[in-house]
Amino acid sequence: MSGAMAAASLALAAVGTAMTVAGKAQEASAQAGQANYQAQVARNNQMVAEWNAQRALQQGRVDEQNQRSKTASLLGSQRAVLASQGGDVDSGSPLDIQADTARAGEYDAQTIRNNAAVKAYGYRVQGANTGAEANLDDYKAASTMAALPYGIGSSLLGGLSSMSKSSLFNTSPSTPTIRGTGPSGYSGTVWGQGGDYGSSV
């Protein structure tokens, strides 16, 4: 192979290696960018889940207080009705009726509080899961970029190996052609060691 062709082959191998390295870098950057984006989305979802949990607890407190107000209003109405019937509203059956009403009202208030806590807990579990997803995506992004130098190094080694096998580094020397005169005036071409083909005495 001529020197020009060998040089062209070497140049093509170098260009191919450079393109491979650039492609790996671009691919790693894209993968890391996607992982970082997903991590940010997950963190946003985690914040939304926490806001929802706080709102659920806040609404639960408001509903609990409203329930207690309703119970107090009902007790007031009951006492007024019982008082209008005559008798002591703080003893006997009138008192039992009021106690039952108070217990039922408190049970409803506690149920509202518990339901709000359960709802908030569900939101926080969801937030914890999305937080874990964000951490995993961060790890993926960091791992992708950390592995990039190894990928580039592997490509460079492969390119160097390919170039080392090119004809520029493995050109075989041409076999010399020796011409001589043999016996009886024979003239021919001899391949091999130098010297005359049977020189005459």
Q: What is the DSSP string of 131-165?
A: HHHHHHHHHHHHHHHHHHHHHHHHHHHHHHHHHHT
How many domains would you assign to the chain?
Answer: 1
| Strands in the chain per DSSP E | 177-181, 187-191
Encoded tokens for 89? 């509203």
Q: Is residue 105 in a domain?
A: yes
In a domain, 110, yes or no: yes
Residue 193 located in a structural domain: no
Per-residue confidence (pLDDT) for residue 26, from 0 to 100: 72
Q: Is residue 179 in some structural domain? A: no
Does residue 183 fall inside a structural domain?
no
Give me the pLDDT at residue 148, please. Answer: 65
Q: Does 179 have pLDDT greater than 70? A: no
Identify the bridge partners of residue 178 per DSSP, sorted by sequence position. 190
pLDDT at 190: 44
Q: Which of 10, 20, 16 is nearest to 152 (CA)?
A: 20
Is the model more confident about 196 or about 91? 91
Q: What is the pTM of this model?
A: 0.59
Give the model's pLDDT for residue 185.
Answer: 46
What is the model's pLDDT at position 194? 43
Reply yes or no on whether the pLDDT at 29 is more than 50. yes
Structural domain span for residue 99: 3-170
Measured CA angle at 111 (ends 105, 115), to 5 deg: 150
Asked whether residue 178 is domain-assigned, the answer is no
HSE-up of residue 94 (Cα within 13 Å, Cβ side): 16
Q: Does residue 106 fall inside a structural domain?
A: yes
- Which residues fall within 8 angstroms of residue 190, CB to CB, at 6 or more apart? 178, 179, 180, 197
In a domain, 162, yes or no: yes
The percentage of the chain sitting over the pLDDT mark of 90, rounded to a whole number, equals 36
Residue holding tokens 């039952």? Answer: 100
pLDDT of residue 152: 63
User: Which tokens is 147 given?
Assistant: 């592995």
When pLDDT is cut at 50, 70 and 90, the band that residue 54 belongs to is very high
